[in-house]
């Protein structure tokens, strides 16, 4: 098992938020996936940002979020924008 803090892009604050959701390891994070994890985070942190979404994906892929594939970033941007629309209705 890999602890969250051992993963790229996860600092203490994000680790605490993930722990509050019952996510203790990178393996569990991968099981849930980026979008589902972010949906859950958004419920407890309305200000969760697009950068946080990218950080989660980067942790899952084990790369710095700045180095994510552009196609995946586009998918995540679209997901984030759609979530924001739903929340602002």
Question: Total domain count for the chain?
Answer: 1
**pLDDT for 89 beyond 80:** no
pLDDT tens string 4-43: 999 999 999 999 999 999 999 999 999 999 999 999 999 9
What tens digit of pLDDT does each residue of 58-82 get? Answer: 999 999 999 999 999 999 999 999 9
Tell me the two tokens of residue 86. 């739903």
Q: Which helix (H) or strand (E) holds 75?
A: helix 70-87
Give the CATH number for residue 48.
Answer: 1.10.150.20
Task: Tell me the pLDDT tens digit for each residue of 46-56.
Answer: 899 999 999 99
Residue 70, domain extent: 4-87
Q: Report in angstroms the alpha-carbon separations of 10 from 32, 81, 89.
A: 16, 23, 31
Evaluate if residue 84 carries a pLDDT over 80: yes
């Amino acid at each position: 098992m890999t602890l969250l803090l051992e993963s790229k892009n996860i600092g203490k604050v994000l680790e605490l938020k993930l722990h509050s959701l019952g996510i203790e390891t990178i393996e569990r994070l991968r099981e849930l996936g980026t979008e589902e994890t972010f949906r859950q985070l958004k419920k407890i942190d309305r200000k969760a940002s697009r950068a946080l979404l990218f950080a989660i994906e980067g942790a899952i892929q084990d790369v710095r979020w700045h180095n994510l594939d552009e196609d995946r970033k586009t998918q995540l941007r679209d997901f984030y924008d759609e979530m924001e629309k739903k929340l602002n209705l």
